[in-house]
Amino acid sequence: MSKPGQGPSYAEEVMVVVAVKYKRNDDDPDRHMMRAMVTADTGFERVPKPDITVAEMQEVAFAAKMALINVIQKRKKRNR
């Protein structure tokens, strides 16, 4: 954030967005419905350079998937 009299701040916000979607069994095979979405600030003040690769993003997606599985398993144990 800029200080008074300095003009606008050009700091970037780097966020991670995780969404849970499901595919409906209807006439449109490409139709997906979003169930939940969360956004987390990474704390980075600038977008990493060089850009994040697809392989690196696959690691992030896998970590999010495993975290979701753990949450669902904990819920099942709680609700027994």
Average the pLDDT over 22-41 and give the result.
80
Q: What is the share, in percent, of the chain residues with pLDDT greater than 90?
A: 49
> Rounded to two decimals, what is the model's pTM?
0.68
Question: pLDDT tens for residues 32-50?
Answer: 787 889 999 999 888 889 9
pLDDT of residue 47: 86
What confidence score (pLDDT) does residue 22 get?
82
**Whether the Cβ atoms of residue 52 and residue 66 lie closer than 8 Å to each other:** no
Q: Assess contact for 64 and 18: CB atoms under 8 A.
A: yes
Nearest in space to 34 (alpha carbons), one of 21, 25, 45? 21
